[in-house]
Amino acid sequence: MSRTSSLVLGLACMAALAGCTRGVTSTPGEAPNLENYVADVRAREAEALPALPVMQQFETFEYAAQGMRDPFSDAWVSADGGNQLRPDPDRRKEPLEAFPLDSLDMVGTIGGGAGAVALVMGPDKVTYRVRPGVYMGQSDGRVTGVREDGIELIELVPDGAGGWLERPASLALDDR
């Protein structure tokens, strides 16, 4: 059985290889169409190439900031930890400093003008009176102004380099 199968396999391989030789030329005169095509291509006149586009001249720029402060160095921070802003650790905390600023709701005002007092409701559902100079929020926010439609304050936030920055914030009147 194995001799018969090897004989059949050998004949199948020979038939497959015999089929591959059809169409392959071994002498130069057997492919006149190919020779004629090559002669026609060589006889053609070469086409002109399109003109190259004109290159734009770019304006040069000279970077001359060697004398300026390097924004990536810590040399601009003073040795005592930045600017002189910092929260007062000895100041007694006020009730509204226990809550984040976004959890407080301004619900109204009393009075008007420079003597206006804002009414702020905390998450504990207690209403507090707020005047300029009062602290509220967890970022040492000091109230700088009270208007009929909102409260303006300045918060002290860390600047990431050991110092503190003043950041303006506001609390708008809740229209509910």
pLDDT confidence band for 74 (50 / 70 / 90): low
- Hey, how many other C-beta atoms are within 10 angstroms of the C-beta on 171? 22
Question: Is residue 59 helix, strand or coil?
Answer: coil
Q: Has domain 98-172 been given CATH number 3.40.50.2300?
A: no
Identify the DSSP state of 77. Answer: S
What is the reported pLDDT for 82? 54
Please enumerate in sequence order all residues whose Cβ is within 8 A of that of 131, keeping only pairs 6 or more positions apart, or say none.
117, 118, 143, 146
The two structure tokens encoding residue 173 = 């009147």
- Spatial contact of 85 and 156, defined as CB atoms under 8 Å apart: yes
Mean pLDDT, to the nearest integer, of 138-167?
A: 90
User: Which tokens belong to 29?
Assistant: 């005169």
Q: Domain limits of the chain? A: 98-172
Q: What is the mean pLDDT of residues 155-164?
A: 86
